[in-house]
Amino acid sequence: MKALLLLCLLPLMEALPVKPEFWVDDLLKTWSMAKITVRHHRLGRNYLRGFPRGSWGTVLFPVLPVVPSKNLADDYFKPIFGGVFDLKTTPEDSYAEFRTAVKKKFCEGNDKKPWKCCSPDGTRSDCENVPDNAKNLMNTLIDPLQGMPIIFLYQWCTMGWAKYDEMTDASIKKDLRSKLEATCPDPCLGNPCRRIPLVNNTKICEVTGSFENDFKCDCESTAEWDPYLLTCRPKNPCLNNKYPPCVSNNTLRCIAADDAKVKCLCKSEYMGEDCSLERNACFERLNKSKTTGNENCRVHLGNECHGVLGTDSYNCTCQYGYEPLLELSEDNCFARRDPCQTFYAISSWNKNAIDLSKDEGSVLTEDEDWAAVLNGSNPKSYIMHRGVTCMNGGQCITSADMSRAICLCPTAMDGSPLFSGPNCEIPIGTWSAWSSLSRCLPRDCGLTRYRWRRRRCLNSTSREDLLGLGRKSRSINNELLANYTPTVRCAGTSEEVLPCDPKDPCMILRLPGYMRGEILNYGTLYYFGVITAIYLCGSFLSWYVFANPIIRAIEKKKRKAAAIVIHRASPIMPERL
């Protein structure tokens, strides 16, 4: 951009007069321009969208004097630009004062006396000996027609926007902004917000200065304007005090990633994406590398995990078939319990920690022994977990991984099973002998004849046999099976149908086809319907006419028969003496 502006200025610089008389003539004239703005100035049109940032002190706007001076550049131009910006005056009045200050400095000789070349035309002299101040101004302001106005606008606009940012009075800022927008460059020219991402309204652009890119776009609520990158940068959600992504009292630190995602580092007592939940070790551990309580308790298999809220502790409740693996330091349900085993657990511990089915290596098999254990000081503190119960002498067999168990039912001497069912609870009966075969039917004719025989399902297992197959004491079994009548089932069928030798076909009255067709047709069907209707009507009429006489006759006959019975049953009354 600077190179382009330099190329635009080269033809103008080559056409400038080198004689100081040109400067003197212009400075002595009364300035008559109606407005001084970048839009009304021919050279200022190159800066309609703002001055290049950092151009002050370059070939575009040189500030260093050509004649060596002890003073710095700012000190050299301070008397000239000191009155450039004044809130009480218009830009045009400020430019008139600026020309006066330049004229005074330009016409000052090296001996601090007026330079004779600045006299009216008739009395000019000594124009060849240009003072140092005139040389410096001719070098920095380039020319009085184009360079000096644009340098004034540069200084006026930059100083004006600096004052605007420092002001606090709203009314004064409003008046000053209207002057700045009318006089200075417009960085929003061309709508630079239309291609910037995360912009809410591309038609809204706010001017913030006189340099290029001194503008501000209307960003979305989740973004903020970055004046250095000239883009709507996503806001740091951790700095949102109205809707904070993390609960402040429960959070140690909020970390925002580049993609606007937030990670909340919770205190040890809390967890969750926003640290709003009390820590539950069943779902999240303080040390993320540790397994959660749900994983250690294996809740997906039916076990339970009970977390101590606000801490990193938990307790497991192992369901039937699972127990803690003692090699691990944390509570768990990794070990499998034999599903065939019946055990007692202490319910107050909320875990299957003690197996009371063993006492110094001996197995408690009598219910009297269990009663001695359970009727102690606190009998309600024990819960019985019953394993797979195989009835009638069945044997419980467990799989290698202890995940399944089945009952192997007892068999007879010939290998046939005596019981069936998942727990050997169904006795299997035996068949009686087949009955004698029945006679063949039909007896005297027929191509298909059959006969049958039957048998009964007998229960071969008595109550005594059932008692002998059990593992409990006979006294207990006798009480339980006193009124036991097993449901007997036998494999197979109780009736068998056998074929007989065929005989001649049986004679059946059957009209030939042509006779059936002549008798049974639509014409005869009409007459058949009429005859049926007449028959029904006659039946109803007969019942209506003869029903009452018939009923009266029947009742009379009943009364007569009843009188005869009563007469025969009554005793003979003796005659009076």
Where residue 213 falls (left for φ over 0; alpha for ψ -120 to 50; beta otherwise) is left
Same domain? For 132 and 174 the reply is yes
Cα separation, 553 vs 278, in Å, equals 98
Q: How many CB atoms lie within 10 A of CB 38?
A: 24
Domain stop point among 484, 500, 516 = 500
CA angle 270, 271, 274 (to 5 degrees): 105
334 secondary structure, DSSP code: -
**Per the domain annotation, does 533 fall within a domain?**
no
Q: Report which residue type is found at 373.
A: V
- One domain, residues 20 and 161: yes
For residue 572, the tally of other CB atoms under 10 A from its CB is: 5
Torsional sign, CA 344, 347, 349, 351: positive
Residue 208 lies in a domain: yes
Q: Are residues 38 and 177 in the same domain?
A: yes
The pLDDT of residue 278 is 94
Q: Which residues, listed in sequence order, are joined to residue 427 by a DSSP beta bridge? A: 419
Residue 99 domain-assigned (yes or no): yes
**Whole-number pLDDT of residue 451:** 93
Q: What is the pLDDT of residues 393-424, one digit of tens each?
A: 899 998 887 778 899 998 877 777 888 888 88
What single-letter amino acid sits at 457? C
Write out the residue range of the structural domain in which residue 149 sits. Answer: 2-186
- The dihedral built from the CA positions of residue 356, 362, 363 and 364, taken in this order, carries a sign that is negative
177 shares its domain with 203: no
Question: Are 144 and 48 members of one domain?
Answer: yes
Amino acid, single-letter form, for residue 13 = M
One-letter amino acid for residue 57 of the chain: G
Q: How many helices, marked H, and strands, marked E, lie in the chain? A: 13, 24
Q: Which residues lie below 8 Å from residue 208, measured CB to CB, with a gap of 6+? A: 161, 187, 214, 215, 216, 227
Round to whole Å and give the CA distance between 232 and 213.
14
264 CB burial (10 A radius; 0-12, 13-18, 19+): buried
Element (H, E) at 206: strand 199-207
| 58 and 147 share one domain | yes
C-alpha span between 577 and 565 (Å, rounded): 29
Q: Does 134 lie in the same domain as 210?
A: no
Three-class SS of residue 461? Answer: coil
d(CA 439, CA 506): 17
Q: Per the domain annotation, does 287 fall within a domain? A: no
* Alpha-carbon gap, residue 377 to 223, rounded angstroms: 70
Amino acid (1-letter code) at residue 186: D
Quote the tokens at residue 206.
């706010």
Measuring CA to CA, how many Å separate 510 from each of 92, 507, 514, 518, 535? 135, 9, 12, 14, 27
Helix (H) or strand (E) run with residue 264 in it: strand 262-266
The count of C-alpha atoms lying within 13 angstroms of the C-alpha of 127, restricted to the half-sphere facing its C-beta, is 17
Cα 458 versus chain centre, distance = 64
In a domain, 397, yes or no: no
* Predicted TM-score (pTM) of this structure: 0.46
Distances (CA, A) of 230 to 215, 218, 226: 8, 12, 5
- 353 phi/psi in degrees, rounded to 5: -95, -25
Q: Are 141 and 33 contained in the same domain? A: yes
Amino acid present at 276: S
Contact (CB, 8 A) for 238 and 262 = yes
- The pLDDT assigned to 306 comes to 95
Decide if 150 is inside a domain: yes
168 within domain boundaries:
yes
Domain count, the chain: 3
User: In terms of domains, do 172 and 81 share one?
Assistant: yes
What confidence tens digit (pLDDT) does each residue in 498-554 have? 999 998 888 765 556 555 555 556 667 777 788 889 988 988 888 888 888 888 888
What integer pLDDT is reported at residue 442 of this predicted model? 87
Give the residue among 263, 188, 202, 210 at the shortest CA–CA distance from 232.
202
Same domain, 182 and 57: yes
Q: How many CA atoms lie within 13 A of 31 on its CB side?
A: 20
Q: Which of 214, 191, 195 is nearest to 204 (CA)?
A: 191
Please indicate, yes or no, if residue 258 is contained in any of the structural domains: no
> Which pLDDT score is estimated for 554?
85
Are residue 129 and residue 224 in the same domain, yes or no?
no
What is the spatial distance between Cα 316 and Cα 319, in angstroms, rounded to a whole number? Answer: 9
Q: What is the 3-state secondary structure (H, E, C) of 526-555?
A: HHHHHHHHHHHHHHHHHHHHHHHHHHHHHH
Q: How far is the C-alpha of 46 from the C-alpha of 43, rounded, in Å?
A: 6
Give yes or no: residues 140 and 205 share one domain.
no
Average pLDDT, the chain: 77
Please list the ranges in the chain whose pLDDT falls under 70.
1-18, 31-34, 57-85, 121-122, 258-260, 343-386, 459-487, 508-523, 565-577
pLDDT value for 552: 84
Whether the link from the prior residue into 442 is cis, omega within 30° of 0, is yes
